[in-house]
Amino acid sequence: MATSTPIDFKKVAIDVVVAALMALIVFGPIVGVVLDGYSFNLQPSRVAWMVLAVMVGRGVLSVFLQTPRGAAMLHGLESGGAGVHVRQPDYKSRLRWIIPLLIVVALVFPVFASKYLLVVVIGGLIYVLLGLGLNIVVGLAGLLDLGYVAFYAIGAYGLALGYQYLGLGFWSAIPLAAIAAALAGCILGFPVLRMHGDYLAIVTLGFGEIIRLVLNNWLDFTGGPNGVPVPSPTFLGLEFGRRAKDGGVPIHEFFGFEYNANAKFIFLYAVLFLIVLLVLYVKHRLTRMPVGRAWEALREDEIACRAMGLNHVLVKLSAFTLGASTAGIAGVFFASYQGFVNPTSFTFFESALILAIVVLGGMGSTVGVVIAAFVLSTAPELLRSFADYRVLLFGMLMVLMMIWRPRGLIRVSRTGVALRKGVAP
Amino acid sequence: MMDGIFLQQMINGLTLGSVYGLIAIGYTMVYGIIGMINFAHGDVYMVSCYLAAIGLAVLSYFGLESFPFLILGTLIFTIVVTAVYGLVIERVAYKPLRNSTRLAPLISAIGISLILQNYVQIAQGSRQQGVPTLLEGGWRFDFAKGFVQISFTKLFIIIAAFVGMAVLTYIIKYTKLGRMCRATQQDRKMASILGINTDRVISYVFIIGAAMAALAGVLVTMNYGTFDFYAGFIIGIKAFTAAVLGGIGSLPGAMLGGLILGVAESQFSGLVNSDYKDVFSFGLLVLILIFRPQGLLGRPLVTKV
């Protein structure tokens, strides 16, 4: 279409006036009248700025959508787009250079890092683990899990309470937390996964709240809001403290090096990094196995899959429990790096944050999730002054991403297969 | 065992339940018409609580003291502004996603929910807000074992909620708008072929849902007096539980489900343990979905190709 229609400024004006009126009604009372006890303070200038911003935004959008590019974009938004981008069969990804490079950087990193940087990066890696786990559930299998943080809590409290009541340590807690979280996922998921997908979202949301409320209210067992202390991790029975606590040997005495306060964090970083690599590899393989293909097929069209003879409950359940067990492992790391757990770490906001990681990174895309996890978990460290607006920004991010790119920033792409010569098509 | 506590919790439960029913209407109508769980609905209710308090404060600042005018003015103000919220949210966050993937509107709704919470927190501050008691007094009945107290506020809430539901039932059953809603709910494509502007009907449904939530917001604010920006989350899940309990998509089901959930929750907190009343409600939700996903009055969901 070469002919460009002139911009209809009357329509733009009407759009702007309607938007301004709506903005005035919506923002006027809540932003302009601030409650103060049983009386109020007026703040009209805030309302004026917000209405002005809405008017300008609406005007620009209205003009843009009437240009040919805007019309093309609007059309692109409405069509939704395909699920997976297929590359040429002989395509070689640049990732095969980037990944070894990143691993080398990650191995060298703790030698130079300060304690603050180590703590931030460990936090980031925990979110990578959580993002990868939820990505299996939401991104690959298309099941919306809003109580993902419950499995994270099971892992964290598994270590804390396991140490308190059963004397479990860091190493035994990792597999046990994974199993406990997977079992919880299985028990919750099995009945619910038979039903319509949207119900899963609300049931998991309820489950997440149940876990948090029980942790908060069961004072005798979990310590309630006061939380539970978590033991330091050990390596082959060696401790990381300056002095051994109960009959153990500190690691710096055993190997005869200078005491280093970072040792505990370097150790946690190393183990966490290995586990993230392992999970990445497992996920990479799983998406190429029948079960991984079944997850994605089920996400795209459930009825067709069932007609082809897939057991939809078992396929979904495998994704759900696998995601849950990843969260359980992440919980163990979270608990031992904090040294303490309490229920405020496991609110719905945490679930929403992990969901934002998956949504931003691209549903099903591993690279995207790793990047998004680091960006979203370290962004609050960099943007301390915007701390009040963090939740607002996450919310806007979710809405805009769904409108603009419902499948995430990074496209899921897969290398195609060439037909061999001499094989009948 | 008809002792005082049981009857008192029954009355508290009916009050709470009629509020749940009003909010559940928003969930059930939206689900019925576009098959989407509107996660932001609880937060629309929260906004309406703030609007009710603001309305009361402004009206009493202008010297309006008599209860009927005060409450009527607050109701009209809150319902109109909250309805605009419902409309704007639908236009901005859900309408562009009508043909998108199945998860997209759900995630967008969670985004709106976070936005509303944080926006109110920034605009109004994160402390608890409150309103003065408007309607004093009540009836008190003495028994051999204890007593029962029915405050006028509770009576007003139950009556107002039932009037609201009756008006809505009338609209859906006997007016042209109601017929358009029902037609769109039964078959959206067929309704649009027959000349119904389904996009507009969907907007109306969001407006009606928000208006009902606004009524609930005014009533709850009157009864409990305090609220904060986080109030919509828990009550939202509970109202959704009520909608599922009654059968999602069914209007009488939402009201019935609300009343049953309210009474069950009040009895649980009165007779067993009030710390775990939220756990009880969410547990009930999980159990209903496992054993009777179509609810009490709903029809089983059939998926067609």
Q: Is A61 left (phi over 0), alpha (psi -120 to 50) or beta?
A: alpha
Average pLDDT over residues B251-262: 88
Facing residues of A414 across strands? A86
Residues B126, B36 within the same domain: yes
Contact A363 B81 (CB under 8 A): no
Q: Is the CB of residue A39 less than 8 Å away from at least one CB of chain B?
A: yes
Best CA proximity match to B264, nearest among B19, B16, B2, B4: B16
Residues B269, B219 within the same domain: no
Asked whether the predicted pLDDT for residue B302 surpasses 60, the reply is no
Picking from A205, A355, A359, the nearest residue to B237 by CB comes out as A205
DSSP of B77-116, one letter per residue?
A: HHHHHHHHHHHHHIIIIIGGGTTS-SSHHHHHHHHHHHHH
Contact B97 A205 (CB under 8 A): no
For residue B212, being part of any structural domain is answered with yes
Give the 3-state secondary structure of residue B200: helix
Contact B114 A79 (CB under 8 A): no
Task: Name the least confident of A233-242, B44-53, B281-290.
Answer: A233-242
Contact A35 B124 (CB under 8 A): yes
Spatial separation of the C-alpha atoms in residues A89 and B25, rounded to whole Å: 53
For residue B111, being part of any structural domain is answered with yes
Asked whether the predicted pLDDT for residue B304 surpasses 60, the reply is no
Picking from A29, A38, A188, the nearest residue to B81 by CB comes out as A29
Instruction: Give the count of domains, chain B.
Output: 2
Spatial separation of the C-alpha atoms in residues B161 and B158, rounded to whole Å: 5
Please give the residue that has the higher pLDDT: either A2 or A89. A89
Asked whether the predicted pLDDT for residue A2 surpasses 50, the reply is no
Q: Which residues of chain B neighbour A199 with C-beta distances below 8 Å?
A: 244, 289, 293
Residues B140, B282 within the same domain: no
pLDDT value, residue A302: 81
Q: What is the mean pLDDT of chain B?
A: 84
Picking from B108, B118, B125, the nearest residue to A392 by CB comes out as B118
pLDDT value, residue A153: 92
Q: pLDDT tens-digit profile of A125-136?
A: 899 999 999 988
Picking from A38, A201, A391, the nearest residue to B118 by CB comes out as A391
Residues B212, B301 within the same domain: no
Residues 191-210 on A with a CB inside 8 Å of B are 191-192, 195-199, 201-203, 205-207, 209-210
Spatial separation of the C-alpha atoms in residues A341 and A113, rounded to whole Å: 26
For residue B287, being part of any structural domain is answered with yes
Residue A113 — very low, low, confident or very high, per pLDDT cuts 50/70/90?
confident
Picking from A138, A213, A355, the nearest residue to B279 by CB comes out as A213
Q: Tell me whether strands A413-415 and A85-87 are parallel, antiparallel or unpaired.
A: parallel
Contact B57 A391 (CB under 8 A): no
For residue B9, being part of any structural domain is answered with no
pLDDT value, residue A47: 82
Q: Which residues of B259-289 are buried (b: 16+ CB within 10 A; e: fewer)?
A: bbbbbbbbbbbbeeeeebbbbbbbebbbebb
Contact A34 B278 (CB under 8 A): no
For residue B4, being part of any structural domain is answered with no
Residues B46, B107 within the same domain: yes
Q: Is the CB of residue A40 less than 8 Å away from at least one CB of chain B?
A: yes
Contact A398 B289 (CB under 8 A): no
Asked whether the predicted pLDDT for residue A76 surpasses 80, the reply is no
Q: pLDDT tens-digit profile of A233-249?
A: 777 666 666 666 666 66
Picking from B88, B100, B282, the nearest residue to A209 by CB comes out as B282
Residue A93 — very low, low, confident or very high, per pLDDT cuts 50/70/90?
low
Average pLDDT over residues B147-160: 84
Residue A183 — very low, low, confident or very high, per pLDDT cuts 50/70/90?
very high
Residue pair B32/B178 in contact (Cβ under 8 Å)? The answer is: no
Average pLDDT over residues B227-234: 82
Q: Is A223 left (phi over 0), alpha (psi -120 to 50) or beta?
A: left
Residues B134, B72 within the same domain: yes
Residue A254 — very low, low, confident or very high, per pLDDT cuts 50/70/90?
low
Residues B203, B295 within the same domain: no
ipTM, two decimals: 0.82
Asked whether the predicted pLDDT for residue A4 surpasses 60, the reply is no
Q: pLDDT tens-digit profile of B162-173?
A: 898 889 889 988
Please give the residue that has the higher pLDDT: either A231 or A313. A313
Residue pair A170/A159 in contact (Cβ under 8 Å)? The answer is: yes
The domain over range A94-232+260-404 is classified in CATH as 1.10.3470: yes
Q: Where are the alpha helices (DSSP H) in A232-287?
A: 251-255, 263-286
For residue B14, being part of any structural domain is answered with no
Picking from B54, B244, B282, the nearest residue to A33 by CB comes out as B54
Q: Where are the domains of chain A?
A: 9-68, 94-232+260-404
Residues 274-333 on A with a CB inside 8 Å of B are 303
pLDDT value, residue A1: 42
Residues B63, B116 within the same domain: yes
For residue B7, being part of any structural domain is answered with no
Residues B162, B293 within the same domain: no
Find all residues with CB under 8 Å of A185, minimum gap 6, and list them. A151, A320, A321, A323, A324, A325
Give the 3-state secondary structure of residue A258: coil
Asked whether the predicted pLDDT for residue B144 surpasses 80, the reply is no
Q: Which domain holds residue B294?
A: 247-305
Asked whether the predicted pLDDT for residue A375 surpasses 70, the reply is yes
Residue B300 — very low, low, confident or very high, per pLDDT cuts 50/70/90?
low
pLDDT value, residue A82: 54
The model's pTM is 0.84
- CA nearest to A193 within chain B: B290
Contact A199 B289 (CB under 8 A): yes
Q: pLDDT tens-digit profile of A20-35?
A: 888 888 888 888 777 7
Domain boundary among B179, B203, B229: B229
Q: Residue written as tokens 């990143």? A: A102
Contact A210 B100 (CB under 8 A): no
Contact A30 B123 (CB under 8 A): yes
Q: Is the CB of residue A65 less than 8 Å away from at least one CB of chain B?
A: no
- CA nearest to B80 within chain A: A25
Residues 158-187 on A with a CB inside 8 Å of B are none
Average pLDDT over residues A179-205: 81
Q: Which residues of chain A neighbour B119 with C-beta distances below 8 Å?
A: 30, 392
Residues B61, B203 within the same domain: yes
pLDDT value, residue A326: 92
Q: Tell me whether strands A249-250 and A238-239 are parallel, antiparallel or unpaired.
A: parallel
Asked whether the predicted pLDDT for residue B264 surpasses 60, the reply is yes
Asked whether the predicted pLDDT for residue B305 surpasses 60, the reply is no
Residue A181 — very low, low, confident or very high, per pLDDT cuts 50/70/90?
very high
pLDDT value, residue A56: 87
pLDDT value, residue A149: 92
Residue pair A209/A348 in contact (Cβ under 8 Å)? The answer is: yes
Contact B51 A30 (CB under 8 A): yes
Please give the residue that has the higher pLDDT: either A113 or A189. A189
Residue pair B111/A397 in contact (Cβ under 8 Å)? The answer is: yes
Instruction: Output the six-digit token pair for A341.
Output: 């757990």
Residue A150 — very low, low, confident or very high, per pLDDT cuts 50/70/90?
very high
Find all residues with CB under 8 Å of A415, minimum gap 6, and list them. A86, A87, A88, A89, A91
Contact A392 B279 (CB under 8 A): no
Residues B217, B280 within the same domain: no
For residue B234, being part of any structural domain is answered with no
Give the 3-state secondary structure of residue A221: helix
Q: What is the mean pLDDT of chain A?
A: 80
Q: Is the CB of residue A236 less than 8 Å away from at least one CB of chain B?
A: no
Residues 359-378 on A with a CB inside 8 Å of B are 359, 363
